[in-house]
Amino acid sequence: NAGVTQTPKFQVLKTGQSMTLQCAQDMNHNSMYWYRQDPGMGLRLIYYSASEGTTDKGEVPNGYNVSRLNKREFSLRLESAAPSQTSVYFCASSELADTQYFGPGTRLTVL
């Protein structure tokens, strides 16, 4: 089992460009999450999906959209990237409030 996979691993964007971060899990978990991690800030929840077909905002949703494509996949879209969105993005999955398993992360730089 691969666990939680994320693509791409690294990305550099120019201000105003758009991109989609992909996440997939093979653990048959219902819940999936997108976090961002900035130096000294811990992880902050952007969006989450408690089950297939549902999504909800987290702490810092502005500038992002998500799609729960099916039970396995949860994507995060930046429509118009800004330098403030430079961060490391982690996807995670869990069965309800049980252990969250994290992907390897995407390091995004917006110039």
Partner 1 sequence: QKEVEQNSGPLSVPEGAIASLNCTYSDRGSQSFFWYRQYSGKSPELIMSIYSNGDKEDGRFTAQLNKASQYVSLLIRDSQPSDSATYLCAVTRSSNTGKLIFGQGTTLQVKP
- Binding residues (CB under 8 A) for partner 1: these are 31, 33, 35, 40-45, 48, 50, 56, 58-59, 90, 94, 96-105
Can you spell out the DSSP letters for 50-65? Answer: SSTT--EE-S--TTEE
Closest approach of partner 1 to the CB of residue 63, in Å: 19
- Residue 24 has which token pair? 């997939």
Contact 48, 101 (CB under 8 A): no
Give least dist CB 26 to partner 1, A: 16
Nearer to partner 1, 14 or 98 (CB): 98
With respect to partner 1, which residue has the nearer C-beta, 85 or 94?
A: 94
In this structure, what DSSP letter does residue 83 have? G
Residue among 26, 41, 22, 29 nearest 91 (CA): 22
Question: CB-wise, 2 or 14, nearer to partner 1?
Answer: 2
Place of tokens 């799609």: 67
Please identify, using beta-carbon distances, which residue of 59 and 79 lies nearer to partner 1: 59
Q: Least distance in Å: CB of 41 to partner 1?
A: 6
